[in-house]
Copies of this chain bind each other. A is one copy, B any other.
């Protein structure tokens, strides 16, 4: 056994001891998973990866995505040992052993699961909800390809974790796009949380599956330093043009027999047993003859290789304006001139293409509906920056998070309804601070004919939940935008690209009349008054977004005829500065919010603001309260769910004050 192998073995034991101590210090965590990764992490971080602990997020660095985030203590241990730069509170400094022992404490940047935004730039994304890391890795690799960066992204995932369908979506995506700079490492320690993994997650089964998904596989002993290192260094040759999946057979609780077997998942070693567990690892060092290495030689053997220097490039110019974008597509220009209408989704396509021309960092993904979302405009114009994600929304969103971490501005689009498939992934992206641009088309019941399986009507409740939480940049964790015409859609899409936090644009399917001048601005948190208080004995403010703004304008005409004064508000943004909208009604006034979705959107926003203050106007709502169904027209379905213009008129007449 040469010095390198000896040094790796000794370091793995040292890191294992630190991981045990850190989790015992925390009183929670996953020491046995960490131990199963001890040799893999040592070889990666001290030998194979090209990276610089002083600049863990340097542009050209190899990346390590720990998909099974609960194994993180072993990486924290390595980072403490290497004095990796951490940035708690924005202040860079070298990570210390004290930092390591602060694991999971409230003031620590060392969270229970990986998370870059707390000041840990070694990581690219928050992980911990399982099965997402390979998709993130695919996104990082995609970004590197677009930017011409030669780096490898290593993704470690668990065998039990490989039950998550998203893993196989990612396997397909990596193979489809020939992202051979991704190396998947399956940590096959045979144990899940509550039991041994199923046969379907046994190492042989995973090997067969990965091969069927178009990967080259190799099975190794995940505790053998030389085998690991040889495999990872020869990754390109081994892959032979396909992505490489390393099936690493490991032992959960490696080195500590008292922690072997079921029942030890997520359980730290009790303080009074700590010395025993550490002694077991010391015994391994003696057995392996690595308990007394020359420290200088060992340190020399374990020095991370620096990445090549890299200078970032980026082309940006002002994006084309709406009129020019329309004029550039004669068919669109003709249709607009003829019908005076355009769908928000059509405008999204125009804006995305304009962004593509203006900003070399803008990329797009779509889930086999690009001809419906109009992401096709971008795909045709910038095929090298378009990544077809096929019918696999979870992978699409996590890959977009990886692209964002890789320095791109990713727009991920599909029907709003199908983004629900990826709500977990969206939340993880938000937790990790990913600058994600989500576009959900065909939102609301006005989609009509396809029925409720295709209608985004519960999306708003989930997405608004984040809109009132602040991300690390002081912005809302998500800004939700529901434009009511093509001009405002176009403007909002451009603004999304310039905004540094996550956004969700909800684009209606239907062709809608243009309501705004092309020089109008649509600040986030803002609103527009579309119909200034008409004359009447009583008064009502109608607030809506998207399709129903148009219904409210129709209702306003009828109400005014009937002697009720009306103000119509386009409440396109969540969160919303609600005070000016409440002021439009006045303290004795009334607001009626009209939405073609379930509860949890604009009506909740205004009701919460009103209820919190004394002397507020009343805020009532007309929302979807029955399960919608197919109808041949938007009007049919709006009627069915009691949201017709007549329903609005009736409710407004009752609510007006």
| Interface residue? A121 (CB, 8 A) | no
Looking at A40-48, A247-255, A329-337, A596-604, the stretch in contact with chain B turns out to be: A596-604
Which of A298-306, A449-457, A512-520, A555-563 contacts the other chain?
Answer: A449-457
Given contacts A214-B205, A599-B464, A618-B612, contact A392 B423 (CB under 8 A): no
Q: How far is the CA of A129 from the CA of B394 in the complex (A)?
A: 13
Q: How many copies does the complex hold?
A: 2
- Quick check: A600 and B611 within 8 Å, CB to CB? no
**CB interface residues, A 304-356, toward B, < 8 Å:** none
* A626-B372 CB under 8 A given contacts A168-B165, A462-B458, A608-B604: no
Task: Give CA–CA (A427, B608) in the complex, Å.
Answer: 26
Q: In the assembled complex, how far is the CB of residue A349 from the closest CB belonging to chain B, in whole angstroms?
A: 13
A469: B residues at CB distance < 8 A: 598, 624-627
Stretch of A224-232, A287-295, A636-644 that contacts chain B = A636-644
Q: Is A359 an interface residue (CB 8 A)?
A: no
Cα–Cα distance between A213 and B627 once the two chains are bound (Å): 37
| B169 and A164 within 8 A (CB) | yes
Q: Is B621 a contact partner of A608 (Cβ separation < 8 A)?
A: yes
Question: When chains A and B are docked, how far (Å) is the Cα of A368 from the Cα of B266?
Answer: 13
* Interface membership of A569, Cβ < 8 A: no
Say whether A390 faces chain B, with CB atoms less than 8 Å apart: yes
Does A111 reach chain B (CB closer than 8 Å)? yes
Interface centre among A175, A597, A607 (most CB of B within 10 A): A607
Given known A-B contacts A165-B395, A166-B165, A629-B111, A461 and B451 have beta carbons under 8 A apart: no
Residue A554 lies at the interface, judged by CB distance under 8 Å to chain B: no
Is A529 at the interface (CB under 8 A from chain B)?
no
Contact of A391 with B131 at beta-carbon distance under 8 Å, contacts A106-B632, A106-B640, A172-B163 already known = yes
Most chain B CB neighbours (cut-off 10 Å) among A105, A172, A366, A457: A172
Query: Do the beta carbons of B598 and A468 come within 8 Å of each other?
Result: yes
Q: Contacts of A611 on B, CB cut-off 8 Å?
A: 606-608, 610-611, 616, 618-620
Interface string of A174-195 (1 = CB under 8 A from B): 0110000000000000001111
Contact with B along A200-219 (1 / 0, CB 8 A): 11000100110111100000
A369 an interface residue at 8 Å Cβ cutoff? Answer: yes
Task: Report whether B199 and A176 are in contact in the complex, using a CB–CB cutoff of 8 Å.
Answer: yes
Residue of B nearest to A28 (CB): B449
Identity of the chain B residue whose Cβ is nearest the Cβ of A655 in the assembled complex = B612
How near does chain B come to A595, taking the closest CB pair, in angstroms? 11
Known: A165-B165, A462-B423, A624-B469. A128 touches B451 (CB 8 A): yes
Q: Give, as a whole number of angstroms, the nearest-CB distance from A447 to chain B.
A: 9
Contacting pair A27 B632 (CB below 8 A):
yes
Contacts of A430 in B (CB 8 A): 627
* Minimum C-beta distance from A441 to chain B (A): 13
B453 touches A599 (CB 8 A): no
Instruction: Say yes or no: is A371 at the interface (Cβ < 8 Å to chain B).
Output: yes
CA distance A172 to B129 in the complex (A): 20
Q: A376 within 8 Å of B by Cβ?
A: yes
Contact status of A629 and B106, CB under 8 A, knowing A165-B168, A211-B212, A621-B608: yes
From A164, A195, A391, A469, residue with most partner B Cβ within 10 Å? A391
Cβ–Cβ contact A465 & B471, under 8 A: no
- Of A417, A418, A421, A451, most buried by chain B (CB within 10 Å of CB) is A421
A221 at the interface (CB under 8 A from B): no
A431 neighbours in B (Cβ, 8 Å): 452-453, 627
Residues of B within 8 A of A599 (CB): 464-465, 467-468, 604, 608
CB-CB under 8 A from A460, the residues of chain B are 465
Binds B, one of A6-14, A53-61, A112-120: A112-120
Interface: A130 (CB within 8 A): yes
Are A112 and B465 interface neighbours, CB within 8 A?
no
A472 within 8 Å of B (CB atoms): yes
Identity of the chain B residue whose Cβ is nearest the Cβ of A370 in the assembled complex: B194
Find the B residue at minimum CB distance from A477: B627
A647 at the interface (CB under 8 A from B): no
Question: Which chain B residues border A457 with CB–CB below 8 Å?
Answer: 465
**Contact of A424 with B by CB under 8 A:** yes
A180 to chain B, nearest CB (A): 15
A630 interface contact, C-beta 8 A: yes
> CB within 8 Å of B: which of A70-126?
104-106, 108, 111-113, 115, 117-118, 126
A282 within 8 A of B: no
Point out the residue from B420, B612, B614 that lies within 8 Å of A424, measured CB to CB: B420
CB <8 Å contact, B26 and A193: no
Interface check A52, CB cutoff 8 A:
no
- Which residues on B sit within 8 Å (CB–CB) of A452? 115, 126, 431
Minimum CB–CB distance from A191 to chain B (whole Å) comes to 10
Residues in B with CB closer than 8 Å to A607 are 604, 607-608, 610-612
